[in-house]
Amino acid sequence: MRPDKFRKAQKLMKSGKVVSKGLIGSSIYFTVKSNKDRHVIFRVPGQTWICDCEYYVLKGKECSHMIACKMLLKEQEKQELKK
Ligand SMILES: [Zn+2]
C-alpha cells in the first residue's frame, strides 16, 4: 500500500496546486499551495530536493510537496514529448 503522502501529493498535483516557476540559475523553483504555501527547490546539479515544510525540516525525508513537484515534472516531460 502506498503511504498517505503519495495520495496527498497526487491530490495536490491534480488540483493544480503545484506551480512551477521554472529554471532559475541551476535550480527549478516550485510553489505548492497547501494550507500554507510551501516552497520547493530542485537543485539540478546534485539532483536534490529541498522543501521548507516542517516534515522535511524535522525528518529530512521526502515530503508530499516534493512528490507532487516530481509528478508535475513528469507530466511536463510527457507533454514535451507530445509536441
Ligand atoms: Zn514539504
52 CA distance to ligand 1 centroid (A)? 6
pTM, two decimal places: 0.90
d(CA 9, CA 4): 8
68 CA distance to ligand 1 centroid (A)? 9
Neighbours of ion ligand 1 (CB under 5 A): 51, 53, 56, 63, 65
Give the pLDDT confidence of 42-63 residue by residue, as tens digits.
999 999 999 999 999 999 999 9
b/e code 30-66 from CB counts within 10 Å (16+ = b): bbbeeeeebebbbeeeeeebebebebbeeeeebbbbb
Segments making up each domain of the chain, as ranges: 4-77
C-alpha cell at 56: 522535511
Beta bridge partners of 38: 32
- Is a pLDDT exceeding 70 seen at residue 1? no
72 CA distance to ligand 1 centroid (A)? 15
